[in-house]
Chains A and B, each alone.
Chain A
Amino acid sequence: MTDGKPFRKDPLRLIGSRDAQTGQVYFPPRPLAVDGSLRATEEIELSPQGTLYSWTRFAGAFYGQIDLPEGVRIQCIIEDEAPEIGAAYKVVTVTEPSGDETWRFARV
């Protein structure tokens, strides 16, 4: 689910995009604004911490939606045992069984 969704290390940041005209922020980054104007967006680094909007547990993993201050909602697996709506979560890296490095959000 987070495969291919870009992030940068040192410091760890997810990469989104921003429409300079409207201020709208998108994740994953998209080349064009959402309004159909074909206006190009600009790349931005997203805040590493946000608040949990909702969560569930499915097939042994916790899933969550995290709202970041830029005005974008991230959906991903979360590292937690007792998620709490409204609590703070931060982005972390994890190494998958395949050896690939990816990211999740974990309770602060």
Chain B
Amino acid sequence: MSEIFVVGGGCVPVGKYPLGSGRELARRAGEAALRDVGATFRDVDAMYAGVAMPTSPQAVLAAKDLGLTGLTVIQVINASASGLAAVHEAMNAILAGRAEVVLVSSWDVPTTKEDPIKSMGFLPPPALFGMWAQRRMHEVGTKPEHFAMVAAKNWNNARAIPHAARRADHVVTPEEVLAAPMVAAPMTAMMCTPWVYGAAAIVLASREGLKRLPGARWPLSRIDTSEARSEIYSGPDHVIESQVVGPPEISQRTVAAALDGAGYGPKDVDVVQVHDAFAIEELVYAELFGYSQPGETERLIEQGAFGPGSKERFGLPEFSTDGGLIGRGHPGGPTGVFQHIETLRRFREHGDRVGLCQLLGAGSTCIAQVATRVDR
């Protein structure tokens, strides 16, 4: 099967931007990604754009800002999973032999003040995940302090990331997280992703396509598998509609399939990026991915598992190393692209060998992708 490499990337910092500025951000991110790999827009066979907001087809406009070269332009809308969905489709284009070099460009800046979550009739996301957390505390005895530890880790991871939305000028403590204003009990504001915008782009290429990219430099990230799933009816506890996302087991099935397809088990993974829009999620996903059991997870978090040095101390991967959705921020479209930028950074700067990216999309979908460091 053809190898698919993440060759390089670029972005604009996650933060607040004027409504309607997404096209401009997309141009800046796309240009940065292409310059990172020593390419021009003329070297690109296709552009896949993952955009959550706005929902109007603006990818072709963003592509034209980079050049009117006649390439394939496809826009994918899959809520928070839009970025990984665009990567998924870009991979399909390479695997089908239709493209050797693909720009995956994703951005998120709405053009109006419309709330797409509310307009789709979903429960407010903080309310849903607040209920996940309340039930978790009832069943397992999890304390708000555990959610605060997860959030503090992600805030502190973001401090070293130049494009992160939340870059604290001090070490964030769980106590500070707990003292933040309450959003949806027990989730405080510092346990929740901020409402922010941004743009990110990566260049994908087959091994043949690398010949067109003189700026490519080893090691690279090779995406071995991409699994995109939707929910399966789980029984009487299944809330079919008005959930932003369905039962958490969707992540279990999707990630297990992605790891299995790549020939890995959970313990082979060094670094994990997840849909940590709310701190409860990261804790739950660690279990669903096969790293710990309810109750054990809390003890592991207390000891610093899933944070810096987790692999050496516990044999467990680090989670949300760029701050995740809580620290780096979560513009719905590009978050998945940011996850691949972070995976490549970890491969290059920390020597990690296997990475996992996972996102959920409202509705609900789950996409998981497994990447391996390739040194030459």
Contact = CB atoms under 8 A, between A and B. Distances in A.
Interface of A: 1, 3-4, 24-28, 30, 34-35, 53-59, 63-65, 67, 71-75, 85
A59 B124 contact: yes
A71 B236 contact: yes
Nearest to A28: B241
A87 to B, nearest CB: 12
B240 A30 contact: yes
B132 interface: yes
A73 B235 CA distance: 10
Given A1-B122, A28-B240, A56-B133, 14 more contacts: A54-B132, A56-B127, A56-B130, A56-B187, A58-B124, A58-B127, A63-B127, A63-B131, A63-B184, A64-B131, A71-B235, A73-B237, A75-B243, A85-B135
A10 to B, nearest CB: 26
| Central interface residue in A1, A24, A26, A54, by most chain B CB within 10 Å | A54
A1 B123 CA distance: 6
A85 B243 contact: no
16 contacts: A4-B121, A24-B233, A54-B132, A54-B135, A57-B184, A57-B185, A58-B124, A58-B126, A58-B130, A58-B183, A63-B123, A63-B124, A67-B237, A73-B237, A74-B239, A75-B243
B131 A34 contact: no
B113 interface: no
Contacts of B127: 56, 58, 63
A75 B187 CA distance: 19
A3 B120 CA distance: 11
Contacts of B138: 54, 85
B236 A72 contact: yes
Contacts, number: 72
A65 B239 contact: yes
Contact of B134 (A1, A34, A56): A56
B242 interface: yes
Nearest to A71: B236
Contacts of A35: 233
B117 to A, nearest CB: 11
A75 B242 contact: yes
A108 to B, nearest CB: 19
Contacts of B135: 53-54, 85
A54 B235 contact: no
Interface in B316-335: none
B184 to A, nearest CB: 4
B64 interface: no
B207 interface: no
Nearest to B129: A56
Contact of A26 (B133, B240, B243): B240
A73 B236 contact: yes
Contact of B238 (A1, A57, A73): A73
A3 B121 contact: yes
B134 A75 contact: no
B184 A56 contact: yes
Complex A-B, nearest 5 residue pairs according to Cβ-Cβ distance, in ascending order: A56-B130, A71-B236, A54-B135, A58-B184, A34-B233
B134 A54 contact: yes
Contacts of A54: 131-132, 134-135, 138
A75 B134 CA distance: 14
Contact of B240 (A4, A34, A59): A34
